[in-house]
């Protein structure tokens, strides 16, 4: 699966980072999913290979503007693109009122079916290739994470074993794959004898703003990938006059190490960490790194990451900004 970071800033956009949005796409799939939709997400999409015509579902983590103010513009551009594929939006309580209000006031006729689902913590939804569970986080408003558990692949044929008995790829392979027994050279072949062991699906959690990553608890254990905010370093946080409900790099690093998370992408970076200041984003990186032994990336806008079936994570591309 591929994750494209469309916005990685916390609270407000900067010249280097737009506000929160991230796209998720599975291998050989003709659609993609969007997690959060901060202002100008549609502009970021234009810089990528993603198209609104293939956008299937949007998930909103919480009702802070930097995570959903991009929705009205994106929804009306989708119509102008003559992208009439139905769209679903999952969000916390309040998302329906916001969208009804903006769309009613602009007398917007979308021309496609828009379904809005307001979720609650611990609900589970079924998608084509995965189950998605909503998990509660700790933040100044209700905030949520989405735990994605991909289906295992159970219909892989043991081609080597079939070739050994002289059966080359043919229609019979398809029949075995469907679970039907077939006759080959007078012998009955049972599907269970010619299938490979199931390949387990990948597990990913995409979290919204959250002051305590440990509230995810056991869901983190052995997780393939966590996408989580790391808004401040511990030192910067300790010097804040007014405390905010965000995670520090230190707390995040300790938590993912404790729960053996295999890969971490940290995002939602406070604007103070930028290439023009003497507090670069490497401060966040180094603080997590000093505590966490798994694979670590700090997301930048328009970075594309690929999580392999074997659980390895790589940055494969960065689109031009
Ligand atoms: Zn935020
Ligand atoms: Zn927030």
Residue 66 annotated as catalytic: yes
Question: Do residues 171 and 45 share a domain?
Answer: no
What is the domain count for the chain? 2
| Rounded distance between C-alpha atoms, residue 198 and residue 17, angstroms | 40
Buried b (16+ CB within 10 A) or exposed e, 125-164: bebeebebbbbebebeebbbbbbbbbeeeeeebeeeebee
Q: Which ligand is nearest the CA of 137, by number?
A: 2
Q: What H or E segment, with its residue span, contains residue 4?
A: strand 2-7
Q: What's the pLDDT at 84?
A: 86
Catalytic residue chosen out of the listed positions 29, 36, 56, 66: 66
Q: Is 48 left (phi over 0), alpha (psi -120 to 50) or beta?
A: beta
Question: Do residues 243 and 189 share a domain?
Answer: no
Distance 268 CA to ligand 1 centre (A): 7
Question: Do residues 119 and 259 share a domain?
Answer: yes
Q: What's the pLDDT at 140?
A: 97
Q: What's the pLDDT at 253?
A: 98
Distance 229 CA to ligand 1 centre (A): 8
Question: Do residues 283 and 169 share a domain?
Answer: no
Q: What's the pLDDT at 106?
A: 81
Question: Do residues 261 and 275 share a domain?
Answer: yes
Q: Which residues contact 187 (CB under 8 A, 6 or more apart)?
A: none
Question: Do residues 202 and 269 share a domain?
Answer: yes
Question: Do residues 209 and 295 share a domain?
Answer: yes
Q: Which ligand is nearest the CA of 39, by number?
A: 1
Distance 138 CA to ligand 2 centre (A): 10
Written as tens digits, the pLDDT of the chain (321 aa) is: 999 999 999 999 999 999 999 999 999 999 999 999 999 999 999 999 999 999 999 999 999 999 999 999 999 999 988 878 999 999 999 999 999 999 888 877 899 999 999 999 999 999 999 999 999 999 999 999 999 999 998 888 999 999 999 999 999 999 999 899 999 999 999 999 999 999 999 999 999 999 999 999 999 999 999 999 999 999 999 999 999 999 999 999 999 999 999 999 999 999 999 999 999 999 999 999 999 999 999 999 999 999 999 999 999 999 998
Question: Do residues 173 and 261 share a domain?
Answer: no
Q: What's the pLDDT at 108?
A: 75
Q: What H or E segment, with its residue span, contains residue 148?
A: strand 144-150
Give the domain-ending residue among 194, 213, 242.
194
Q: Provide the domain limits for residue 76.
A: 2-154+198-318
Q: What's the pTM? A: 0.94
Closest CA to 272 of 286, 283, 285, 287: 283
Distance 109 CA to ligand 2 centre (A): 30
Distance 292 CA to ligand 1 centre (A): 24
Q: Which ligand is nearest the CA of 139, by number?
A: 2
Question: Do residues 185 and 240 share a domain?
Answer: no
Q: Which ligand is nearest the CA of 66, by number?
A: 1
Distance 319 CA to ligand 2 centre (A): 26
Distance 196 CA to ligand 2 centre (A): 45
């Amino acid at each position: 699966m591929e994750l494209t970071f469309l916005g990685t800033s916390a609270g407000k956009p900067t010249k280097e980072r737009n506000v929160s949005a991230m796209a998720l796409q599975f291998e050989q799939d003709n659609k993609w999913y969007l997690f959060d939709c901060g202002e100008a997400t549609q502009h970021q999409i234009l810089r990528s290979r993603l198209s609104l015509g293939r956008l299937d579902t949007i998930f909103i983590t919480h009702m802070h503007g930097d995570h959903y103010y991009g929705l009205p513009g994106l929804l009306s551009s989708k119509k102008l693109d003559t992208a009439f594929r139905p769209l679903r939006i999952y969000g916390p309580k309040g998302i329906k009122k916001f969208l009804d209000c903006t769309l009613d006031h602009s007398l917007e006729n979308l021309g496609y079916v828009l379904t809005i689902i307001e979720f609650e913590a611990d609900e589970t939804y079924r998608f084509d290739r995965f189950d998605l569970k909503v998990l509660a986080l700790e933040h100044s408003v209700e905030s949520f994470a989405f735990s994605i558990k991909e289906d295992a692949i159970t219909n892989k044929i043991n081609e080597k074993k079939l070739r050994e008995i002289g059966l080359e790829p043919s229609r019979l392979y398809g029949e075995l794959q469907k679970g039907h027994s077939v006759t080959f050279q007078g012998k009955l072949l049972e599907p269970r004898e010619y299938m490979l062991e199931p390949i387990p699906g990948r597990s990913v959690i995409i979290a919204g703003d959250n002051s305590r990553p440990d509230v995810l608890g056991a869901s983190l254990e052995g997780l393939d990938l966590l996408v989580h905010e790391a808004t401040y370093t511990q030192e910067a946080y300790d010097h804040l006059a007014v405390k905010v409900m965000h995670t520090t790099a230190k707390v995040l690093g300790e938590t993912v190490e404790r729960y053996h998370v295999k890969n971490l992408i940290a995002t939602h970076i406070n604007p103070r960490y930028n290439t023009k200041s003497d507090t670069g984003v490497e401060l966040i990186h180094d603080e997590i790194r000093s505590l966490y032994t798994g694979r670590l990336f700090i997301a930048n806008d328009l970075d594309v990451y690929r999580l392999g079936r074997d659980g390895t994570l790589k940055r494969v591309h960065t689109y031009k900004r």
